[in-house]
């Protein structure tokens, strides 16, 4: 029983690592820019379908497909910032409703384009399971998820504390007025935040699709809420 419980705990940690990547991208916009982007889950979903675009073109290369999915999600994040956030800056409630509308639009657009069918997603490698103690079995993919999540978290800490653009995001989060006074271009910093957030959403969507071997138009709704 204790071995079974330990295995479940490790599975929970690996799953939580995926949710953590979703949360990091979500918090980059909400925690540092005070913008509640309810389309983050939809951006995640778009990233997973961006992964499939490369396979639809007949190119069987997961890593190229993953890079394409992240890029597509980043562009989606930028489009949401330009169409739904920037025109309503300063109106918190209106911005939230606009991003919710963007999420509904994206999810239903993909639903129509795919006829609502789930799509199979190839994995970069078949998981190999290892017995580490008693009857506890863990897979190399679970270890990969945890290590990648920790790496992304450390990378974001470094970005926000050690780079000029990261410090600019933090200043903007503290006070837009002070950011203007010290010469920070608010539009550029906001665009950067949405680009990075969109890329992280795409990464989370790709990892989730690879974990379960499939994706579907509304996969981002639940993942976004958990994140």
Give the mean pLDDT per block of 10 residues along the chain (227 residues).
Answer: 72 86 86 80 93 87 91 94 84 86 93 87 75 72 87 90 88 81 85 91 91 87 78
Q: How high is the pLDDT of residue 131?
A: 73
Rounded Cα–Cα distance for residues 38 and 97 (Å): 8
Asked whether the beta carbons of 208 and 49 are under 8 A apart, the reply is no
Three-class DSSP category at 136 = strand
Joined together, the tokens standing for residue 227 give: 């994140």
Rounded Cα–Cα distance for residues 118 and 48 (Å): 11
Three-class DSSP category at 215 = strand
Name 50's Cβ contacts closer than 8 Å, sequence gap at least 6: 68, 69, 70, 71, 72, 73, 202
Q: How high is the pLDDT of residue 122?
A: 82
Q: How high is the pLDDT of residue 117?
A: 84
**Number of C-beta neighbours around residue 65 at 10 A:** 23
Q: How high is the pLDDT of residue 14?
A: 83
Asked whether the beta carbons of 223 and 209 are under 8 A apart, the reply is no
Beta bridge partners of 131: 137
Rounded Cα–Cα distance for residues 225 and 19 (Å): 10
Rounded Cα–Cα distance for residues 174 and 128 (Å): 46
Asked whether the beta carbons of 121 and 210 are under 8 A apart, the reply is yes
């Amino acid at each position: 029983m204790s071995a079974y419980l330990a295995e479940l705990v490790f599975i929970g940690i690996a799953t939580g690592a995926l949710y953590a990547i979703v949360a990091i991208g979500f918090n980059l916009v909400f925690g540092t820019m005070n913008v509640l982007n309810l389309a983050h889950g939809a951006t995640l979903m778009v990233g997973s379908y961006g992964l499939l675009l490369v396979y639809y073109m007949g190119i069987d290369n997961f890593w190229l497909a993953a890079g394409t999915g992240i890029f597509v999600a980043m562009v989606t994040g930028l489009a949401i910032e330009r169409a739904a956030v920037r025109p309503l800056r300063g109106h918190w409630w209106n911005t939230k409703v606009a991003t919710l509308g963007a999420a509904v639009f994206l999810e239903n657009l993909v639903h129509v384009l795919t006829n609502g069918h789930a799509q199979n997603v190839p994995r970069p490698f078949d998981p190999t399971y290892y017995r580490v103690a008693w009857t506890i079995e863990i897979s190399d993919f679970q270890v990969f998820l945890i290590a990648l999540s920790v790496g992304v978290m450390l990378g974001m800490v470094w970005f926000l504390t050690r780079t000029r653009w990261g410090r600019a995001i933090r200043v903007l989060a503290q006070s837009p007025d002070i950011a203007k006074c010290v010469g920070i271009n608010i539009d550029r910093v906001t665009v950067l935040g949405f680009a990075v957030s969109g890329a992280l959403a795409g990464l989370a969507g790709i990892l989730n699709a690879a974990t379960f071997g499939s994706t579907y138009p509304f996969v981002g709704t639940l993942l976004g809420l958990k994140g």
